[in-house]
Chains A and B, each alone.
Chain A
Amino acid sequence: MHIDYLLHLGDNALILGQRNAQWCGYGPALEEDLALANNSLDLLGQARLLYQHVAQLKNDGKTSEDLLAYWRDVPDFRNYTMLELPHCLALHPGAVAERDFAVTIGRNFLYSALMVLVWQALATSRDAQLAAIAAKSLKEASYHLEHARDWVVRLGDGTDASHMRMQAALAHLMPYTQEFFSASPMETAAAQAGVGADTSLLKTQWDGLVDDTVRAATLQRPASAGFVSTGKLGVHSEHLGYVLAEMQCLARAHPQAVW
Chain B
Amino acid sequence: MPSVTQASSHVFALPVGPLLRRSPQDPHYRVWELLETVFDPELPVVNLRDMGILRAVRDTAQGLEVVLTPTYSACPALNQMVDDVAAALARAGVAARVSVCLAPAWSTDWMTPHAHEQLRAFGIAPPQGCATAQSGHSVLQFAPKPDVAVVCPRCGSAHTTCVSPFGSTACKALYRCLDCAEPFDYFKPY
A residues apposed to B, CB below 8 Å: 31-32, 34-35, 37-39, 41-46, 48-49, 52, 55-56, 64-66, 116-117, 120, 128-129, 131-133, 135-140, 142-143, 145-147, 149, 205, 209, 212-213, 216, 259
Question: What residues of chain B lie closer than 8 Å to A120, measured between beta carbons?
Answer: 136
Interchain CB contact (< 8 A) of B139 among A39, A116, A129: A116
Q: With A146-B139, A209-B140 in contact, is A34–B6 under 8 Å at CB?
A: no
Question: What residues of chain A lie closer than 8 Å to B105, measured between beta carbons?
Answer: 132, 135-136, 139
Q: With A64-B3, A147-B165 in contact, is A142–B73 under 8 Å at CB?
A: no
Contact B74 A116 (CB under 8 A): no
Interface of A is mostly: helix
- Tally of B interface residues using CB under 8 Å: 32
Stretch with Cβ within 8 A of A (4 or more), from B33-41, B117-125, B166-174: B166-174
List 7 A–B pairs whose Cβ atoms lie within 8 Å, in order of A's numbering.
Answer: A32-B164, A52-B6, A55-B3, A117-B140, A132-B101, A139-B136, A259-B1
Closest to B106 in A: A136
Closest Cβ–Cβ distance, residue A107 to chain B (whole Å): 17
Interchain CB contact (< 8 A) of A140 among B10, B73, B102, B104: B73
Contact B73 A42 (CB under 8 A): yes
Q: Give Cα A104 to B163, complex, Å.
A: 21
Contact A128 B139 (CB under 8 A): no
* Besides the known contacts A45-B73, A136-B105, 14 further A-B residue pairs in the complex with CB atoms under 8 A apart: A31-B163, A31-B164, A42-B72, A48-B1, A48-B73, A52-B3, A56-B6, A116-B136, A117-B140, A128-B10, A132-B9, A136-B106, A138-B136, A146-B165
Closest to B71 in A: A136
| Cβ of B142 under 8 Å from chain A | yes
The 10 lowest CB-CB distance pairs between A and B, nearest first, are: A45-B74, A45-B73, A31-B164, A132-B103, A132-B102, A35-B166, A38-B166, A135-B105, A142-B139, A136-B105
Which of A32, A138, A143 neighbours the largest number of chain B CB atoms within 10 Å of its CB? A143
Contact A136 B170 (CB under 8 A): no
Q: Give Cα A44 to B3, complex, Å.
A: 14
Closest Cβ–Cβ distance, residue A56 to chain B (whole Å): 7
Closest Cβ–Cβ distance, residue A130 to chain B (whole Å): 10
Q: Give Cα A120 to B135, complex, Å.
A: 11
Contact A34 B164 (CB under 8 A): yes
| Cβ of B75 under 8 Å from chain A | yes
Q: Give Cα A43 to B74, complex, Å.
A: 8
Closest Cβ–Cβ distance, residue A126 to chain B (whole Å): 12
Encoded as 1 (CB less than 8 Å from any A CB) or 0, chain B from 1 to 31 comes to 1010010011000000000000000000000
Contact A35 B136 (CB under 8 A): no
Question: What residues of chain B lie closer than 8 Å to A212, measured between beta carbons?
Answer: 142
Question: What residues of chain B lie closer than 8 Å to A38, measured between beta carbons?
Answer: 166, 170
Q: Give Cα A116 to B137, complex, Å.
A: 9
Which of A49, A120, A139 neighbours the largest number of chain B CB atoms within 10 Å of its CB? A139
Question: What residues of chain A lie closer than 8 Å to B190, measured between beta carbons?
Answer: 139
Contact B74 A41 (CB under 8 A): yes
Q: Give Cα A44 to B148, complex, Å.
A: 30
Encoded as 1 (CB less than 8 Å from any A CB) or 0, chain B from 129 to 161 comes to 000000110111010000000000000000000
Contact B6 A129 (CB under 8 A): yes
Q: With A116-B140, A132-B105, A139-B190 in contact, is A39–B72 under 8 Å at CB?
A: no
